[in-house]
């Protein structure tokens, strides 16, 4: 609806990894190789049958669906794309308006935009596992208190038992997938990283800029593994990542939010770069740790994140939440 007298997260746990799953859906079977001979428009959803709506948000204009594609379990995410300033003239010129209501100086219309200005960003996870379905289902969340001992006795064993593949990460690092999307690549095996847009960002405007820096070191699972020996890596990501974004998108460091998640969505060290002011999923204080603070904390105490107590949210059906309950920690 367009209103003349104008007005304009989903939870972080539901949206954090959904977009990148689209690129890696069925990708592991081909070792990340991307086919370059597919038609530009291909409706793989023509056979999709909906089983249930996992969650939705009218405010965020996004919907998570569970169903099947040609017999395979699938999760489909439908998200309305933002209106771009550079398309406004065409939008106003070529759209159709139908009056809904007029009252004094106020009027409300139904606006039918040209198809190419009315796209729905669609993410497909197929074949999807029960873990994917649970991850996107709307649920109650709980704030968990985790000591360093809790991490070693509860969290780490649970993480090590999980089977979510990191092959898609290695495909990016080895340039077997998404190579054309890379913004910056530092090949150094110790302090190097790959910087590329997160798939939650459509790259059509910088207002919702969202990039991910993936470390080349493969033995760092999360914030908990970091010590002062990783400071060169963290500083390199922090400084070169900001410089690359300035060069590519003309966005200065003062406009960036640079942070890590704990708990992360996947256990390979990665850093989030988002535009300040963009309400990115997972940027709240209960999950995001500013990289500048992480660096300073490790300078003060080399074992800071291996010993301190951390708090983070877990959804009601998260297996890790069950482990904390079994351990009497919740």
Annotated binding residues, as ranges? 168, 178, 198, 200, 261-272
Given a contact cutoff of 8 angstroms between Cβ atoms, the answer to whether 79 and 9 are in contact is: no
SS3 102: strand
Which residues are 122's β-sheet partners?
Answer: 78
What's the sign of the alpha-carbon dihedral 204, 63, 12, 152? negative
Nearest to residue 82, comparing CAs of 219, 205, 255? 205
Active site residue 132: no
Question: Catalytic: which of 132, 270, 278, 289?
Answer: 270
For residue 161, how many other CB atoms are within 10 A of its CB?
Answer: 9
Q: How far apart are CA 307 and CA 294, in angstroms?
A: 14
Given a contact cutoff of 8 angstroms between Cβ atoms, the answer to whether 72 and 126 are in contact is: yes
Q: Which residues are annotated as a binding site for substrate?
A: 168, 178, 198, 200, 261-272
Sheet holding 106-112, edge to edge: 2-3, 106-112, 96-103
Sheet holding 288-290, edge to edge: 184-186, 193-197, 210-215, 270-275, 256-261, 288-290
Q: Which residues are identified as catalytic?
A: 270
């Amino acid at each position: 609806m367009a209103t003349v007298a104008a007005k304009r997260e989903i939870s972080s746990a539901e949206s954090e990894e959904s977009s990148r799953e689209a690129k890696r859906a069925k990708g592991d079977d081909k070792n990340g190789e991307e086919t370059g001979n597919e038609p530009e428009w291909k409706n793989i959803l023509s056979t999709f049958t909906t089983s249930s709506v996992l969650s939705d948000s009218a405010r965020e204009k996004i919907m998570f669906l569970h169903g099947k594609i040609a017999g395979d379990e699938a999760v489909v995410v439908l998200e309305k794309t933002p209106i771009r300033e550079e398309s406004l003239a065409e939008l106003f010129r070529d759209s159709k308006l139908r009056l809904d209501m007029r009252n004094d100086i106020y009027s409300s219309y139904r606006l039918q935009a040209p198809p190419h200005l009315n796209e729905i960003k669609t993410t497909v996870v197929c074949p999807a596992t029960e873990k994917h379905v649970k991850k996107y289902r709307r649920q109650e969340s709980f704030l968990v208190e985790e000591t360093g001992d809790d991490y070693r006795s509860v969290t780490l064993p649970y993480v090590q038992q999980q089977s979510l593949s990191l092959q898609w990460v290695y495909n990016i690092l080895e340039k077997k997938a998404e190579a054309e999307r890379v913004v910056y690549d530092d090949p150094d095996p110790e302090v190097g990283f790959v910087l590329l847009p997160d798939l939650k960002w459509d790259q059509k405007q910088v207002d919702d800029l969202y990039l991910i820096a993936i470390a080349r070191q493969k033995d760092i699972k999360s914030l908990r593994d970091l010590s002062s020996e990783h400071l060169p890596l963290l500083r390199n990501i922090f400084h070169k990542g900001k410089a690359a974004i300035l060069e590519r998108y003309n966005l200065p460091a003062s406009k960036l939010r640079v942070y890590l998640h704990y708990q992360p969505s996947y256990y390979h060290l990665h850093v989030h770069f988002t535009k300040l002011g963009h309400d990115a999923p997972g940027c709240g204080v209960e999950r995001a740790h500013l990289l500048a603070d992480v660096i300073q904390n490790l300078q003060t105490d080399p074992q800071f994140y291996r010993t301190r107590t951390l708090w983070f949210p877990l959804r009601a059906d998260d297996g890790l939440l069950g482990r904390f309950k079994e351990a009497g920690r919740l």
